[in-house]
Amino acid sequence: MLQRSQLKIAIVGGHPSIYREVSQALRENYGLSHWVELPSFSKLGVGGSKIKAKILYCDLIFILTCYMRHGQTDAVAALKRSGAISGKVILLCCRGRTGVMRAILHNVDLLCEVA
């Protein structure tokens, strides 16, 4: 069975404060210690190869759709469709730290149950 501590998780989009607060709380309270953040395109650029390099080995890729541009969602979706990434891509449209945390924990628990 897959353990939470083994998961590699990416958060795509969102404000830096949301990422920081969510990853810290889930790391400290739930043992989710492997995190990748994909900031907005203004920081990363639109190149699919840059996105792929950051999320290639992630088990779960959470896209915070309420906090990002559609182009970033499309770039991740194209990588998934082409088979370039194998992680499960999950669209989240929830606001605030607690909403994002609940959604991530729910999906982590589902993945750990199935594995």
**Can you name the residues that pair with 12 across neighbouring β-strands?**
38, 63
Report the C-alpha gap between 91 and 81 in whole angstroms. Answer: 15
Residue 72: give the domain boundaries.
4-114
High-pLDDT (> 70) share of the chain, %: 88
Q: How many domains does the chain have?
A: 1
Averaged pLDDT, 93-101: 88
Measured CA to CA, the distance from residue 93 to residue 88 in angstroms comes to 16
Across the chain, mean pLDDT equals 86
DSSP structure class, residue 57: T
Instruction: Please report, for the domain that includes residue 65, its CATH number.
Output: 3.40.50.10700
Give CA–CA dist 90/70, Å, rounded: 14
State the burial class of residue 41 (Cβ atoms within 10 Å of its Cβ: 0-12, 13-18, 19+): middle
Give the pLDDT confidence score for residue 24 in this predicted structure. Answer: 94
The predicted-structure confidence for 3-18, as pLDDT tens digits, reads as follows: 899 999 999 887 888 8
